[in-house]
Chain A
Amino acid sequence: MTNNTQLWEKTLFELEGELSRANFSTWFKNTAILKQDDGMVVVGVPNEFVKDWLQNKFHKTILRSLRNLSENIRGIEYTVCKIDEPKVEKKPQVLVGSSQGAELPLVDLYINKEDGLNPRYTFNDFIIGSFNELAYAASQAILKKVGTNVYNPLFIYGNTGLGKTHLIQAIGNEVKKHYPNKRVFYTTSEKFSVDYINSVQQGSKAMASFKNKYRVYDLLIMDDIQFLSNKEKTQEELFHIFNELYHNNKQIIFSSDKHPNYIPALEARLKSRFSAGMIVDIQEPEYESRLAILRAKAETQKFFPPLEIIEYLASSVQGNIRELEGLLNGIICQSELRNRNLTLNEIKPFIKNTAKPKKLLSVKEIVKVVCDFYSIEESFVYEKTRRKEILKPRQIAMFILREDFNISYPTIGQKLGGRDHTTVMHSCEKVKSDIKNDLSLMQEVDQIRAMF
């Protein structure tokens, strides 16, 4: 980047000497070298008028100056693009309307209709910590070589609110910036299936255009792929599109809240394809990352609370980034209201109030989920039967009740048909040790856990 800026600055310096001042400032304002590729230099210009003029009038002069500075330059291409003017520290202008009251809520609606990307998501405000560094590294590798890299497809999974969408949209935006010729498209699996259903409704012509629409992209990003479960025909269509794109070395990125193997009712052929490239997970951020995230968020909001408050927030709030953001917003709002920074003691009750209550599920509900998973009658679990197909779900239910919901052994025994607490202990131990050796059992338990 700096190389380009420096080269262009030197070129402009030379050109300035050759041209009249008026000419120079009119035609070379807001121009820049966007990239150099194998001797071809791409120069960004603010509009078509300038593009025409530089091409017709100044092309030779510019080329000569560039060659003087760097010998291997063969040619110049001009493209019209938006170039950010160097940011001048302006005093915040008081808009006429600023005290008019509320604005129309348009801020979040700047979504590019053509590629579905929200320009708000960039790598600039993406915070990297040990929880997401692998995913970040993979995304950077993709940016270097879109399509023709080992990370195709890239599958990113992790719980909600950990920045999956931010990351994959940032990849899209970055690719758009560095490769203006590549066609990028972002969609969610839900939109994809709606699109599919609509085209089925409208008949064969719409179907054909649907099929073609997704095959022209150089980078296809599909968010929240887990919602494709149980949508067989949509999956099939995705499968075909995937194959087509993959064979043409087009980059594909998916995100989901689960590992593809644990997405229920997903076709095996899709699962195996998802696993073909790179599967990375995003974990919950650890303390240091939470601290960094809170600081960055506070800074973008121009809010500078004392460090101890940020530290307290980071240490006491576990869980996802969205919740952290929500809490911080709440605190900013509170301190704006009171017109001063809040003290630690004022924040403590606030966190308690907003911290989400632990999920309260009754034993019955949990047992029901397990039974549904193994498709057996719920009542069998409570009966005194040792049939194998009943025994296993019962033991797993006990194990989950103990491990995930911290219910005491005697209570579990009592609730599941008046069994002795030693029976429950045995069941838990058994499942625990079986899981280590039995991969399919582990997957089953994981899948059940995902349902809570």
Chain B
Amino acid sequence: MDFTCNREIIQKCIMSADRVTSKNSSLPILSSVLLTTNSKSIIIRATNLEVGVEFQIPADVKRDGNVAIPGALFSNILTSIPDEETITISVTDNVCKIITKTKNITIKGFIPDDFPTIPVINEGESFTIQSQSFIQGVKAVLMSAAVSDIKPEISSVYIYQKEKYLIFAATDSFRLAEKKINYTGGHISQGVIIPIKNIIEIIKIFESINENILFKITKTQISCVSKSVYITSRVIQGVYPDYEQILPKNNTTEILVLKQDLINTIKLSTLFSDKFNKIQFIINPQQKKCLITTKNSDIGETESNLTATMSGEPIEISLNGKHLFDCLNTIDQDSIVIQCNGFNKPAVIRGVGDQSFTYLTMPLTK
């Protein structure tokens, strides 16, 4: 094969593609990216057998062919030649020559026929959503997904359609986040559970793209198609817990605070909290008291008074400071509402006037 293309464009794609390559697989071909010519463009493929990506970039193709070369190496080469405007690649017998104005580089490639195929989805349901909306939905809930893969269905993000919304949800069984994004397309009968590691790759790739993405889902696979990128990922074949049933319908105590105040207080308090980041809230609406205390027998203790608007019954509740902190960062509003239903029931956190994001966190035992 023989082609010339813009250095900046190919570098961007190779860097994205290299993220998806398998880093320490027993099969070396999986750490490579596959370049294939396609009339006036080249196709870049990479996969770790969980996620597969395919980029298409314009190129001046002189001779057809394909080659598989180590992704990390290629990416490093491209970042090291920032001054070049175009590069020319020519391949004979799996030896890849990269030629620029001033440099001549030769890389040993793999046999391209060994490169895995990337599944194409032709059946199943599909829906379209703007890339940035999708990223917004995923990012709002991402931090709540479970890290360990003991239960694969919850170390994932669950996406489904309900009424006029596309709903993103994630939980690690101690806290839960749900984000609704406006959706105008057709009915999607089944939800999709995407492993957390895979969805991180998907949003990383779409981050720099601002266009509509077409999603296609089957029971086993999801694919995301934009003008220049095709991504496909395994999905979890399982059942996502019907979490809507645990979202509290009402509350006994409601607190309204400025977000920044709370963030600062929590930052201070977590310095003195135990290893479970336990922070105690003592709330008494009648006495207009909102006290946040932490105690660590080795270091010391804190006590902060928070200015807050409160209503309902007095309550003492211990929450995980890290969980609170995680969600505060994803709320855009200046003020937030915390709703409690007793010291042993999950507390709900939302931005003021924003029903699209709901965060649930389980109190810690005293």
With A48-B232, A109-B242 already in contact, the answer to whether A101 and B50 are too (CB < 8 A) is: no
- Which 6 pairs show the lowest CB-CB distances between chains A and B? A48-B119, A101-B365, A80-B220, A106-B241, A22-B26, A109-B241
Residue B148 CB within 8 A of the other chain: yes
Number of interface residues of B (CB under 8 A): 47
B47 interfacial contact with A, CB 8 Å: yes
A3 at the interface (CB under 8 A from B): no
Least distance between A291 CB and chain B CB atoms (Å): 33
A300 at the interface (CB under 8 A from B): no
The reply to whether A21 and B148 form a contact with Cβ atoms under 8 Å apart is no
Of the 9-residue stretches B170-178, B254-262, B288-296, which lies at the interface with chain A? B170-178
Chain A residues with CB under 8 Å of chain B are 21-23, 25-26, 46-53, 56, 80-82, 93, 95, 97, 99-107, 109-114, 119
Question: A104 and B117 in contact (CB under 8 A), knowing A48-B232, A82-B237, A111-B239?
Answer: no
Please give, as numbers and ranges, the residues of chain B lying within 8 Å of A99 by CB-CB distance.
276
Nearest chain A residue, comparing its CB with the CB of B51 = A49
Query: How many whole Å from A77's CB to the nearest CB in chain B?
Result: 14
Residues of B within 8 A of A101 (CB): 276, 362-365
Whether B173 and A22, one on each chain, are in contact in the complex, defined by CB atoms closer than 8 angstroms, is no
19 contacts between A and B (CB under 8 A): A26-B26, A26-B30, A49-B49, A49-B116, A80-B237, A93-B148, A100-B364, A101-B364, A102-B363, A103-B362, A104-B171, A104-B173, A104-B175, A106-B171, A106-B241, A109-B242, A109-B245, A113-B190, A114-B190
Report Cα–Cα, A80/B240, bound state, in Å.
19
Report whether over half of chain A's contact residues are helix, strand or loop; otherwise say mixed. Answer: loop
Q: Which residues of B contact A21 (CB under 8 A)?
A: 26
Bound complex: CA A70 to CA B344 (Å): 60
Taking CB as reference atom, which chain B residue is nearest A102? B362
Asked if B287 is an interface residue, CB under 8 A from chain A, the answer is: no
Residue B186 at the A interface, CB < 8 A?
A: no
Kindly state the separation between the CA atoms of A124 and B116 in the bound complex, as whole angstroms: 39
Name the B residues within 8 Å of A95 (CB-CB).
148, 150
Interchain CB contact under 8 A, B191 and A104: no
B residues at A contact (CB < 8 Å): 25-28, 30, 47, 49-50, 52, 116-119, 148, 150, 171-176, 189-191, 219-221, 232, 234, 237-243, 245-246, 276, 320, 344, 346, 360, 362-365
Shortest distance between the CB of B153 and any CB in chain A (Å): 8
Cα–Cα distance between A93 and B146 once the two chains are bound (Å): 15
- B30 and A97 form a contact (CB under 8 A): no
Q: Which residues of A contact B245 (CB under 8 A)?
A: 109
Residue in A51, A81, A95, A97 with the greatest tally of chain B CB atoms within 10 Å? A97
A48 in contact with B221 (CB, 8 Å): yes
Partner of A47 from the list B25, B221, B241 (CB cut-off 8 Å) is B221
Given contacts A49-B49, A104-B175, 17 further A-B contacts (CB under 8 A): A47-B221, A48-B232, A49-B118, A53-B117, A56-B117, A95-B148, A97-B172, A103-B173, A103-B174, A104-B174, A104-B176, A105-B246, A109-B242, A109-B243, A109-B246, A110-B241, A113-B242
A82 and B238 in contact, given A102-B363, A106-B246 (Cβ under 8 angstroms):
yes
Task: Report B-chain residues with C-beta under 8 Å of the C-beta of A46.
Answer: 234
How far is B242's CA from A331's CA once the two chains are assembled, in angstroms? 30
The docked-state distance in angstroms from the alpha carbon of A110 to that of B243 is 9
Which of chain A's residues has its CB closest to B346's CB? A104
A-B contact count (CB 8 A): 109
Cα distance, A103 to B117, chains bound together (Å) = 41
CA distance A434 to B245 in the complex (A): 53
* Distance between B117 CB and nearest chain A CB, rounded to angstroms: 5
B320 nearest CB across to chain A (Å)? 7
Residue in A22, A102, A113 whose CB lies within 8 Å of B191: A113
B344 and A48: CB pair below 8 A?
no
Residue of B nearest to A48 (CB): B119
Cα–Cα, bound, A102→B246 (Å): 14
- Nearest residue (CB) in A for B238 is A82
CB proximity of B222 to chain A, nearest CB, Å:
10
Write the nearest CB–CB distance from A365 to chain B, whole angstroms. Answer: 36
In the bound assembly, the distance between CA atoms of A49 and B49 in angstroms comes to 6
Contact of B242 among A25, A48, A111, A119 (CB under 8 A): A111
Q: Residue of B at shortest CB range from A56?
A: B117
Residues of A within 8 A of B49 (CB): 26, 47, 49-50
- Do A106 and B173 have beta carbons less than 8 Å apart? yes
Contacts of A110 in B (CB 8 A): 239-242
Contacts of B47 in A (CB 8 A): 49
Which residues of the other chain, B, contact A52 by a CB distance below 8 angstroms? 116-119
A105 cross-chain contacts in B, Cβ below 8 A? 246
**Residue among B150, B173, B364 having the largest count of chain A Cβ atoms under 10 Å:** B173
**A47 and B190 in contact, given A21-B26, A22-B28, A109-B246 (Cβ under 8 angstroms):** no
B173 and A93 form a contact (CB under 8 A):
no
How far does the Cβ of B194 sit from chain A's closest Cβ, in whole Å?
13
